[in-house]
Structure 1
Amino acid sequence: MPTLNKQKNKNSHRRLNNWLDMLLCWTQIKNIDIQINNNLKEIVEEYRLLITIAEPSLTQQIRIEEILELAVYDTELSKLIDRVEQDIAREIGF
């Protein structure tokens, strides 16, 4: 009988450890998502600022190109940039 109880305890510890591992993994993924969303927000805000400059410098032009290239590979960023451009178009009367 004592062996059976030991085996049950081992199994319950394994289940608890598996559950904790899954929880930690989920928390890490959620934190990564938040970090990515914050990074996207920063990039979009930077883009909004850059495209409203009447005569951007060469460095600013290069940064705009870099952001647009990122948008080619990131559909969420692309959608956010589209929204920014639509907002600005509305603001200036297009």
Structure 2
Amino acid sequence: ITAGYHRLWAHRCYNAGIFLQYVLALAGAGAAQGSIKWWSRGHRAHHRYTDTKLDPYNAAEGFWHSHIGAFHPFCWLLIKPRRRQGPADITDLTKSAIVRWQHK
């Protein structure tokens, strides 16, 4: 998750070759934390709206919400109903063939 979903796709910290991108996409999928598109969109919203009602991982909503609910898409079912997140720009992700392939 750290090298791919977080650093490469959510923050665009580095460029990776096509082979490494596929490896990171498959490894991320194996971590069962949703797709690159879903995870990165939520993380970008988190940084844009930190600790506000639009932050999907708002710590003010409690420990379990910000830690477990934040890291697994299905935990939202156990924590509380999902609410609308603040907007986040993911146009770069929607242009990526690997992200589109993995999000199917």
Q: Highest Rg: 1 or 2?
A: 1
Bigger helix fraction: 1
Q: Normalising by structure 2, what TM-score?
A: 0.30
Q: Normalising by structure 1, what TM-score?
A: 0.32
